[in-house]
Structure 1
Amino acid sequence: MDTLPVELLRLVFSHCDPKSVRSLRQVTRILADVGYEYLLSPKFTAVGWRNDIDRLHSIALNDRLRGSITSICIFLGELSYYDAWSTSPFQHFITPSDQRNALMGSARQEFDRIEKGRKAIGPLYLRADDLREACSALPNLKDLEITFTRCPLENDLLREVFDSPNCRKLDRPQTYSNLDAIIFALHGIPLLSFKVDRMPLEIFRLPHHRTHWYTHAQSFNALHSLNLTLDPSGLQGPGSAFRAVNGLGRILQLAKQLRKFKLAFHPYTSENSKFALSFRELFYDFTYKQLTDLTLEGVSCEEDDLKDFLARHGATLLRLRLGGRGLAKPVEVSLGGIHLYEGTFKSLFTGLRAKLPKLERLHLEGIFECEHQDLPSHEAYNFYPLTNENWEELPRPRWVRSSRRTINCQPFEHYVLFGGPYPKTALVEQDDY
């Protein structure tokens, strides 16, 4: 292989997994040299109980390795000890007691190891300068994800309890500081995608944090994909919510080149509720000129307000997702739907037929309901998912059954895209399966 051109050797390495790269580099000195830059995965993962920021800093200062990193995923989620241990026995109540005790013992040891490491390392914001120096030295960094809801652990029991929202804890002041440190580190970096799956909405109400984000989020100017899930449970009163939404809107409007946008609200204090949102207050008359994919989840709004916001994107919008899983546990129906406190879904979907002429796909998931339950126009639906967020087909969830009166959104998608009668009859047929 030493006689092959370097370009072909690079091609070979590009198709190898990390283990194969290490083995191939041991064959000859030339292969060791060419394969050096393939030692690292392009996706860097940082967790709070390892010296990952030091490791990232070292990579960023290495002339040959710094170009390998294209995306960073930072895990900030933590388990609530007492909630986790009180939940786990119920998840394994049919497991023989000796096996259950072994599972819990192994999980407790893993939990203690992680917490010991977390205390030794300290919170992320203490390494803000190192993180910024590292990120600014990575020439190919394009994607950044911050996750509080996914578990990077291999222990099965810890992964199971992490799926329960009530088992996750969030130190809100520390989270503000950690998020501030991350956006500070991204200053001036032309990211293409940015994702946070649990962001305290009140951070945009607090003047210092709001100013900090607006100052350092200028890298959003280049974003093609923005995925934000907001936690509004720290807000107190309508005035607080108004200021937070106003601050959020200033940040969202920096991302002028967005093509894919997801905006979700997960109220941890009440998992079934929706966040009352005014699109007029959030965006005014702002429009994303290149938006093709939009997802809205966990929102309570006016029909006309939502319809006007969607209509502004009618020239480019190809795919629309309303609703999602929300904070549902794996065995529960999807909770993150849409609530209309004024108007009806029939009027909304009828209006969208004319206002979104380029729309190719529509997906609905979760609990959809409008106000005025005593009126004939009242509508309430519970949609189960047909596709994931990449529009790949999903098998029907195990929790779908007729007693829960869950339906799929195909009749509504057909109605919006192609017209015909409003799909009340089709829903009755679905309930009979």
Structure 2
Amino acid sequence: MLSMDILPVELLRLVFSHCDPKSVRNLREVTRILADVGYEYLLSPRFTAVSWRNDIERLHSIALHDRLRGSIRSICIFLGELSYYDAWSTSWFQHFVSPPDTRNELMGSARQAFDRIERGRKIVGPLHLRSDDLREACSALPYLEDFEVTFTRCPLDNDLLREVFDYPSCRKLDRPLTYSNLDAIISALHGIRLSSFKVDRLPLEIFRLAVHRNHWYNNAQAFDSLYTLNWTLDPSGLQGPGSAFRAVNGLGRILQLAKNLRKLRLAFHPYSSENSKFALSFRELFYDFTYKHLTDLTLEGLSCEEEDLKDFLARHGHTLRRLRLGGRGLAKPFEVSLGGVHLYEGTFKALFTGLRAKLPNLERLHLEGIFECEHHDLPSHEAYNFYPLTNEDWGEVPRPKWVRSSRHTINCIPFERYVLHGGSYPGNALVQQSY
């Protein structure tokens, strides 16, 4: 092992780059040279902060450390919370058939973990109270590229708590507190040249409220460096069409700042009505704005006009390579995907037929969830229930366990083939009943 001292530093770095954290620590104990070279590999390039530990303080210390600050390339901040009574009842029914002793042990362990988290959260306090430390830390990290805010991806060690987090009804959201926390994060990102930014539950009404909308607009000017933007909007806090119009208008102002996007994902998850779709006008959201470099687009959980959607997609016809419509939505683990697309005017046949000519460079099309158009009494009515074939990175996924013939689920291959290569429209044979 001592002979490694004579290797070039570049090779030593290559060795460390293939080591797990424990191996890095062990290898650094061998010689002084290895200890010195391996110093920067002590930390994972992905930093995860949770609300019940002093992680922002730790991030701040790392960012001010001359040799450690270069290790961090991505930050994930977890802001999700469980609703105690919903989680308790859900987990009890999930393990109803388990032996009582086993069930009590599982739920007792989860209760203790939940209590520890809640005590820690009260001691640490909300994120926005440490906004200065977060801003100073982010600005001092020279290689920070990716930033994620998650409310739904559970980092907990307890299996039962992770299990109930998959149920949307078990998650709770303090909306005013969330506005303040997200405002603090946007302030911290001001001037940072990020390549990707993800939020998996963003209250849509934050863009209706002038004080928050203006704060985002003034601090999100650096969005022009983004290549990837992945936002899941929660519209359940909106009150009426006027409120929705102002929120969509404010959202559009922010989205248009990210003018150099290659990948865009917009999903709508209405927690107040998990089966519904959000009525969206692309004319109100984008006007005539076009992303000049957009290659990947995902749209999920929306209700729109066929012509409006087709016009928006056609504006990106020269660059768009991969298109995903629909997704899991707020489906529970055992349910069919809910995040499809609803057309309140027009038909899918006209949509897909039009896309054949308007998207000449399209290479992949994926459909997931419940797709339905209006006019139930007309022969042109269409309804489909698509199960997923690939994930968002276009990697193949196994057939979901919830796919059964009784649910009339199908895959999107015939529709993808029709849009890319032509032929007869497959919907005539595959059209299903209303959902």
TM-score range, shorter chain: over 0.9
Aligned amino acid, residue 117 of structure 2: I
Correspondence for 1:144 among 127, 143, 147:
147
Correspondence for 1:253 among 244, 250, 256:
256
Correspondence for 1:74 among 73, 77, 81:
77
What is the CA deviation profile of residues 83-122 of structure 1, one whole-angstrom value per residue up to 9, with x for unaligned ones?
Answer: 1001111111111111000000000000000000000000
Match of 1:318 in 2: 321
Instruction: Report the 3-state secondary structure (helix = DSSP H, G, I; strand = E; otherwise coil) of the residue aligned with 2:246.
Output: helix
Correspondence for 1:180 among 179, 183, 196:
183
Mapped contact 2:146–2:196 kept (Cα < 8 A): yes
Distance 1:270 1:14 in 2: 46
Question: Structure 1 residue runs of 4+, over 4 Å off?
Answer: none
Correspondence for 2:220 among 211, 217, 224:
217
Match of 2:54 in 1: 51
Distance 1:346 1:280 in 2: 22
Correspondence for 2:389 among 379, 386, 390:
386
Match of 2:18 in 1: 15
Tell me by how many angstroms 1:424 deviates.
Answer: 3.3
Aligned amino acid, residue 11 of structure 1: L
Mapped contact 2:328–2:339 kept (Cα < 8 A): yes
CA RMSD of aligned residues (A): 1.1
Instruction: Report the 3-state secondary structure (helix = DSSP H, G, I; strand = E; otherwise coil) of the residue aligned with 1:146.
Output: strand
Distance 2:359 2:420 in 1: 9
Correspondence for 2:274 among 271, 276, 279:
271
Aligned amino acid, residue 197 of structure 1: D
Mapped contact 1:24–1:31 kept (Cα < 8 A): yes
Tell me by how many angstroms 1:425 deviates.
Answer: 5.6
Match of 2:285 in 1: 282
Match of 1:193 in 2: 196
Tell me by how many angstroms 1:68 deviates.
Answer: 0.5
Q: Identity over the aligned pairs, expressed in percent?
A: 84
Mapped contact 2:154–2:162 kept (Cα < 8 A): yes
Q: How does 1:224-263 map to 2 (within 5 A)?
A: 224-263=227-266
2:309 maps to 1:306: yes
Mapped contact 2:349–2:427 kept (Cα < 8 A): no
- Segments of structure 1 that go 5 or more residues without pairing to the other structure are none
Distance 1:15 1:102 in 2: 39
- Segments of structure 2 that go 5 or more residues without pairing to the other structure are none
User: TM-score scaled to structure 2, two decimals?
Assistant: 0.98
The farther-off stretch of 226-235 and 88-97 is 88-97
Correspondence for 1:33 among 31, 36, 40:
36
Distance 2:297 2:67 in 1: 38
Distance 2:406 2:37 in 1: 61
Mapped contact 1:261–1:294 kept (Cα < 8 A): yes
Instruction: Report the 3-state secondary structure (helix = DSSP H, G, I; strand = E; otherwise coil) of the residue aligned with 1:296.
Output: strand
Mapped contact 1:298–1:338 kept (Cα < 8 A): yes
Aligned amino acid, residue 370 of structure 1: C
2:433 maps to 1:416: no
Distance 1:299 1:427 in 2: 22
Mapped contact 1:303–1:342 kept (Cα < 8 A): yes
User: TM-score scaled to structure 1, two decimals?
Assistant: 0.98
Distance 2:245 2:36 in 1: 57
Mapped contact 2:224–2:257 kept (Cα < 8 A): yes
Mapped contact 2:48–2:77 kept (Cα < 8 A): yes
Mapped contact 2:147–2:196 kept (Cα < 8 A): yes
Tell me by how many angstroms 1:426 deviates.
Answer: 5.0
Distance 1:257 1:410 in 2: 31
Distance 2:209 2:428 in 1: 49
Distance 1:167 1:57 in 2: 32
Tell me by how many angstroms 1:218 deviates.
Answer: 1.3
What is the CA deviation profile of residues 387-429 of structure 1, one whole-angstrom value per residue up to 9, with x for unaligned ones?
Answer: 000111111101001111111111100110111111036537x
What is the CA deviation profile of residues 64-88 of structure 1, one whole-angstrom value per residue up to 9, with x for unaligned ones?
Answer: 0101100000000000001100111
Mapped contact 1:411–1:426 kept (Cα < 8 A): no
Aligned amino acid, residue 414 of structure 1: R
Match of 2:159 in 1: 156
